[in-house]
Amino acid sequence: MITDIHCHLESVAPESLASFIAAGNKIGAVSMTLESAQQLITLKQQYPDAIALFLGVHPEVSADEAMIEAMIALIHQHHGLLSGIGEIGIPFFYLDDKTVIEKQQLKQQGAQLMARFVALAAEYDLPVNLHVVEDDIELVLPILQQYGIEGALFHWYEGSAIQLAQLHQCGHFISASPWIFVDDHYWQFVQTIPLSMLLVESDAPCKYNGEKGDPSMTVNVVSALAKHHQISIEQLTNILAANTCRYLRKSL
């Protein structure tokens, strides 16, 4: 069994979802907007045992206060269905054309918004699924500490050896994506992630070399990682399953 711990499931073809689940696998479904959250709730109700549902507002999305408040209300309404809060975090990619001062201001605003959702995670004792890039962990770690959030997932994270050690010391997790087959620098980083903090993801429908992402791609990620660590696929699958249980704080 493999858990694709970070997937935008509402954008995955129904037949791909059904096939992946039929093979005994599970999916961590993260929302981006209110619309995607509502779609994911429907899918969770359809596949209650196979989907771990995360609700939140993606930091790269332009969200007004009405959407934010509606998402918070949705989390309160459906907290019993949730496995966690996400995708939340700090904006990064849409800030490319901003000045240094503008970036700092927007990141601070993003951190304030993230804190509102982390507070909900603390209220319901749920893990968080995070969009955080490189140095932005310095904005995020104090928020997690403030609300007592342990074992957060930094999805598709890549940073320095020092930053990796920092996340490891704090007991957080990192999920590796199929980007390992596209970017050698990222693959080199993933090879250094301690197995005790490793999870896998597709981030579907993100494209890899022009191919639309799919949960089934996590199978190849697991195979490549097992080969690198010179252990069997079964051994690594068991390690990942144990890590996923620790992250979700429940058995699979």
Per DSSP, what are the bridge partners of residue 154?
Answer: 130, 174
The pTM of this model reads 0.95
d(CA 188, CA 184): 6
Q: What pLDDT was estimated at residue 182? A: 97
Report the 10 Å Cβ neighbour count for 210: 6
Q: Which amino acid is located at 217 in the chain?
A: M
Q: What pLDDT was estimated at residue 104? A: 86
DSSP-H helix ranges across 31-183: 34-46, 65-77, 100-124, 137-146, 161-169
Length of the chain in terms of residues written: 252
Domain of 178 in residue numbering reads as 3-248
Residue 171 sits at φ, ψ, to 5 deg, of: 80, 25
Per DSSP, what are the bridge partners of residue 200?
Answer: 4, 176
Nearest to 152 by CA among 71, 110, 89, 215: 89
DSSP structure string for 177-222: -GGGGT-HHHHHHHHTS-GGGEEE---TT-EETTEEP-TTHHHHHH
d(CA 34, CA 68): 8
76 appears as a binding residue in the annotation: no
Average pLDDT by consecutive 10-residue portion of the chain (252 residues)? 97 96 98 97 97 96 93 98 97 76 87 97 98 94 97 97 96 98 98 98 96 97 98 98 96 74
Q: For the chain, percent helix, then strand, then coil, each to nearest 5?
A: 55, 15, 30
79 appears as a binding residue in the annotation: no
Q: How many domains does the chain have?
A: 1
Per DSSP, what are the bridge partners of residue 155?
Answer: 175
78 appears as a binding residue in the annotation: no
Q: Tokens 């934010």, residue?
A: 68
CATH number of the domain at 54, please. Answer: 3.20.20.140
Q: Structure tokens of 87?
A: 């995708």
229 appears as a binding residue in the annotation: no
Q: What pLDDT was estimated at residue 103? A: 83
